[in-house]
Amino acid sequence: MKPVGLDLLSIIRKVIFDLRSPAAAKAIKFNILINHRQVVDEDTFGVWGEERLCYSIMANLIKDAVEASPAHGILKILLSGDEDGQALICIHSQSAVPAHIRSDFFEKYSISGKADGTRLAADSAKLMAETMGGKISMSTCEEDGTTVTLELKRTSADRMSFLRSIATISDRNDQADMEELPLLKILIVDDYETNRVILERYLKDDKFNIEFADNGQSAFEKFTKMKFNIIFLDMEMPVMNGMEAALRMRHWEHENSGGRDATILVALSGHAAAEIGQICLKAGFDAYLSKPVSKSQFRETILNFFADKHKKTPEPKNHTSDIPGKFPADIPDVEIDCDLQDLIPSFLSDKKADLESLGEMLMANDYEQIQKMGHRLKGGFNMYGFKFLGDISSAIEETAKQKDYNGIKNKMALLNEYLGQIRIKYVNVN
């Protein structure tokens, strides 16, 4: 397991979103507090952990709390802890655990039936918490209900802001720009309902007219009946895929334009390879997004086509202000395959040399070469197991696309600093 600093609050939000149906069926409301105050959209809550384990723990605990809660109940999630100390995550439901299973609540076979509203399969959550060096406990009584408390290691704000800064697409606040857009008619085409819902949610605060289709054929039929400003088309769908639908749409426009402006077509695909993007553009698409599509990517695509000021003066993104001056000190040892032990010294030495070359490229403002070098560093670091260095290299590659001199310089400094401080623990992975 490779622990990383991650935002537990975003994981909790995802779990709640995924559990929206059973929660809505019982009219259960969620109330999330951080250090006794109500959370706001901008909040994060950093912990050390492994993303999938954290998701599984929270999904287990929150799902069970939903099932145990009475109808119209309130499920409280309380997050607390000082930075760089212990993080406490308390999940409180209004039902008590039945007396006969309280003493062995975290034992594997202590599950009682759903009928009495207390099916708490907490044993797996306990194991996962311990795997991440955390622990889990429970208190319950008839008067106050049940609180399950998870303890993990807290991560500093520095670390979280660093993680945000290296995100490939910055989540800048674009609401004001979106509000200036005209009323757009948007068609979202994807056979997977979750994807359609997510993309719709990305626009939930905007006044757009959004339609959906679950395959290319149905999208084409809608397209011929009404004018859309922009269509997002998944490439891999049953009945008719996105590529064929786009070709038909362009052909139909050619034959039946009648003064109608061409619709903006955006391809969505699980393949991130640049070649796929080029094929899409040749086939008549105006843009290409690889999945998973982030909120900012999705919204920025719309802005790029419909906001005049974005068309005229695309402003380079500046990540500089987000980046801490010093690398956080709480980076754990990196676990590397012991089979590669002999290769590591020369590998790291080569990477330091690559970093020097990167500096020369930056001096020469050669962003194309920086992008290539960032990509190469990303691949090398990831292959050897230095995933975090791979992430920084990926951020360099992305920042080079924006020709952001200071952004690249800062990320190079972090890479250099981390390479200088790195501690390796060789492990047997076979």
Q: Which residues bind other proteins (CB under 8 A)?
A: 270-276, 290-291, 337, 339-340, 343, 347, 350-351, 372, 375-376, 378-380, 382-384, 387, 390, 394, 429-430
* Distance in Å, CB of 271 to other proteins, minimum: 6
Q: Alpha-carbon distance 299 to 286, whole Å?
A: 15
- How many residues are recorded in the chain? 430
Closest CB to other proteins among 328 and 380?
Answer: 380
Largest Cα separation within the chain, whole Å, is 75
* Distance in Å, CB of 379 to other proteins, minimum: 3
Q: Alpha-carbon distance 1 to 66, whole Å?
A: 29
Name the helix (H) or strand (E) containing 374: helix 367-384
* Distance in Å, CB of 409 to other proteins, minimum: 22
The dihedral sign for the CA sequence 153, 154, 156, 161 = positive
Closest CB to other proteins among 208 and 418?
Answer: 418
- Listed in sequence order, the residues at least 6 apart from 410 whose beta carbon sits closer than 8 Å to its beta carbon are 319, 320, 323
* Distance in Å, CB of 331 to other proteins, minimum: 19
Closest CB to other proteins among 81 and 277?
Answer: 277
* Distance in Å, CB of 394 to other proteins, minimum: 8
Instruction: Tell me if residue 291 falls in helix, strand or coil.
Output: coil
Q: Alpha-carbon distance 302 to 270, whole Å?
A: 20
Closest CB to other proteins among 146 and 394?
Answer: 394
* Distance in Å, CB of 276 to other proteins, minimum: 7
CB 101 within 8 A of CB 118: yes
Whole-number Cα distances in Å, 43 to 13, 32, 240, 299: 11, 11, 41, 21
Cβ neighbours, 10 Å, residue 380:
17
Closest CB to other proteins among 173 and 341?
Answer: 341
* Distance in Å, CB of 391 to other proteins, minimum: 10
Closest CB to other proteins among 321 and 428?
Answer: 428
Closest CB to other proteins among 185 and 271?
Answer: 271
| Nearest in space to 377 (alpha carbons), one of 400, 401, 350 | 350
Pairing between β-strand 37-38 and β-strand 29-34 as defined by DSSP bridges: antiparallel
